[in-house]
Copies of this chain bind each other. A is one copy, B any other.
Amino acid sequence: MYISTKTGYALRALVELALAGENEPLSLTELAQRQQLPFKYLEQLFRKLKKAELVLSRKGSRGGYLLARKKAEISMQDIMNAVEDSQQYSYCSIDKFDDDYCQGSGCGFRSLWDRIGTDLEHYFSGISLSEIVNKYV
């Protein structure tokens, strides 16, 4: 169980946006250079970030990306949700078990996973981009 580099990249990138000016879009070319991240990979991440409405874009020359919300309104949970493929923290391998053992929502393990999922979601929702920028960067 670990945080993917995908989330790491996204976080770095958003921190960079947070540090940039409010109204000056930062281009991915620039961003990729500053963070030494693969440009084409970033493009993909940003498509997801945009879909999740964490960033806005401006096309064309002098275009780029901007944060769509205030730093304080973007949490690590948001970022992970946007970028990570599986939305769940844990999954019950329910389909491998027959009905005697694991019966949908009645399954004990499933409710354990659910609890853990909720707890972790709560935890990561509590870490905002502004906190990261202030404390760690």
Contact = CB atoms under 8 A, between A and B. Distances in A.
Interface of A: 1-5, 7-9, 11-12, 35-36, 80, 84, 86, 88-93, 96-98, 101, 108-109, 111-113, 116, 119-120, 123, 127, 132, 135-137
Contact of A1 (B4, B97, B112, B127): B4
A110 to B, nearest CB: 9
Contact of A109 (B12, B84, B92, B119): B12
Contacts of A92: 8
Chain copies in the assembly?
Answer: 2
Nearest to A131: B112
A3 B5 contact: no
A89 B93 CA distance: 22
Given A8-B109, A101-B36, A90 B132 contact: no
Contact of A112 (B2, B96, B97, B132): B132
